[in-house]
Structure 1
């Protein structure tokens, strides 16, 4: 990670769609790492309130975000008038990734941009709901 790359952790407090054990493990690991990071209660709520803090985050250069689906995070920032930089954003999806994978990526010095471009993206197979016959 370059000095300009920041880490943002979303606790997903209100929607409660991220598994509690994943959120807790990621937050604990970040705290123990000694790396500076920002933590917010809920990006969905911040977007709904048009929180100016989202704009400050996007103005600061490259960012890694531990939250949920990349397409959802992209549109939360966009809806708040703070679009994320396509080539400067890496989203880690705590809804479907293991905590170890999220932490490893957050602490990796290399940024791996994965923000979907365009207006709509197809969900990946891992993002589709599991159906039982």
Structure 2
């Protein structure tokens, strides 16, 4: 078997993994710096459909340290890539301690005298926030397409819904996922299940919560509400005319009652001299 190679996403725009654990993990990976590719945000690579994605997917014995495995699989799928489970191992640092990750990689969990890997440069001016569709659950009902006001979704010639304009999505707004009848929409940076990509263990409970969300957001007449939103969207085809205040109010309302809010770090301008993908 090939020597394990590591792709490590720090999800630099969020603090979904506590900073202390991030430092511990970077120190553990500092034992094998030549085998680690450290990136600031896998979602950004997917939004840009960066060619590195195909290179990584074709790497033998690749370990991807990112978020929930369902999220990672569907992120690569959004770029047209099917991850081969015989070649790729997925590790979730949101639920796995740095020491457990070290054990899985055969590394010292408490190395001394090892400098941590440097944090990768942040190249996305804002946190890449967009939905990915879990094709194992999606039935192409088009509820998300008709609901979204920002043209994030489109319908293909064969009737499939796809996320064609991911960066149109409004930061911190998961409303389409909250009302998806099949729980097929994932926002990898969302803090709570199942929208964050966590596996669904209780289908009944999830479907009941979706019913509550739909009634809260759309009311009793779903189709009439969707028709009104679709008409409203058509009146807003010129993106520069969107009302930022209204977008803020909508995503705040649709976040629901989170036990912990999504925490994003301040926006950081992209580097002017080099890009993350060149490193």
- Category of TM-score, reference length = shorter chain: 0.7 to 0.9
Query: Per-residue CA shift, 1:23-80, capped at 9, x if unaligned?
Result: 2211111113456211111111111111110111011222111111011011111112
**Larger RCO, structures 1/2 (Cα 8 Å, 6+ apart):** 1
Cα pair distance change 1:107/1:79, threshold 3 Å: farther
Cα pair distance change 1:30/1:107, threshold 3 Å: same
Aligned partners of 2:70 and 2:199 also within 8 Å = no
Q: Give 1:90-101 correspondences, 5 Å limit.
A: 90-101=89-100
1: CA distance between counterparts of 2:8 and 2:92?
11
Aligned partners of 2:59 and 2:87 also within 8 Å = no
Cα pair distance change 1:16/1:45, threshold 3 Å: farther
Aligned to 1:31: 30
Task: Report the 3-state secondary structure (helix = DSSP H, G, I; strand = E; otherwise coil) of the residue aligned with 1:12.
Answer: coil
Structure 2 unaligned runs (5+)? 108-134, 138-197, 203-257, 260-279
Comparing 9-18 with 71-80, which one deviates more in the overlay?
9-18
Aligned to 1:123: 200
Aligned to 1:102: 101
Aligned to 2:245: none
Aligned partners of 1:6 and 1:62 also within 8 Å = yes
Aligned to 2:71: 72
Larger radius of gyration between Structure 1 and Structure 2: 2
2: CA distance between counterparts of 1:86 and 1:94?
19
TM-score, normalization: structure 2?
A: 0.38
2: CA distance between counterparts of 1:124 and 1:90?
21
How many residues were matched structurally? 117
1: CA distance between counterparts of 2:99 and 2:24?
8
